Structure formats: C-alpha cells, structure tokens
Amino acid sequence: MPFCAKLQLFKYKDKIQEKSSLDEDEILELLHSLLSKIKIFNEETVTDESLQKAYDLCKDIDEKDTPFVAITIELSGLLWTKDSKLKDGLISKGFDSFFDID
C-alpha cells in the first residue's frame, strides 16, 4: 500500500472516534493493528498477462481500477469493493472474484 494510501486510513480517525466509544489512543492502536496485517504488494511485479486481462475488464468501466483488478488476478484473490458500477461491469464480463461482507 503506497504511503499516501496508509495516511488515508488516519484521515477518518476523528470520525471513527466520534462514532465509537474508543478514545484516541485506542483508535490509533486499532489503526496500527490494521496496518500491521496489510500485505504491501508492488504493482510492478504484476505480470503483463494479468495487467492485460485487468485492462480488458476495466477499460470501459473504470480504467483507474485496472491495478486493483490486476493484483486480484495475479494473486488469485478476491476484490473488495463497494463500487457497484465496477462490480456489476466486471460480473457482466465474467469476473466474479469478490470479497463481500454483506
């Protein structure tokens, strides 16, 4: 996860604290725990084949999502998204590797 993406997690620290009964130290501990479980993956190690498959899937939906779909393909993983346009578009093209918590 790029450094700037990690900082985005802390962007919502105050909102999380406001909506929960946790104090600031508990929120920071929670965010630290979350970050320690995230595996950082270098996009540059994704194969050209996975990138091409992802681009073909994403190009007419949202091209900016290509790297996320490519990493999902590369790792034979599951994509976690709440972007219904992306999800519906990928499903319509036969991609069904999604992680859902609903």
- Which residue ranges make up each domain of the chain? 3-36, 43-92
51: three-class secondary structure by DSSP: helix
Model pTM above 0.85: no
pLDDT digits (tens, 9 = 90+) for 48-76: 999 999 999 999 999 999 999 999 999 99
pLDDT digits (tens, 9 = 90+) for 21-31: 888 898 888 88
- Mean pLDDT rounded to a whole number for the chain: 86
Closest CA to 41 of 5, 82, 95: 5
Band the pLDDT of 85: cuts 50, 70, 90: very high
- Look at residue 50 in the predicted model and tell me its pLDDT: 97
- Look at residue 100 in the predicted model and tell me its pLDDT: 82
Closest CA to 70 of 57, 80, 89: 57
Is the pLDDT assigned to residue 6 strictly greater than 60?
A: no
- Look at residue 8 in the predicted model and tell me its pLDDT: 62
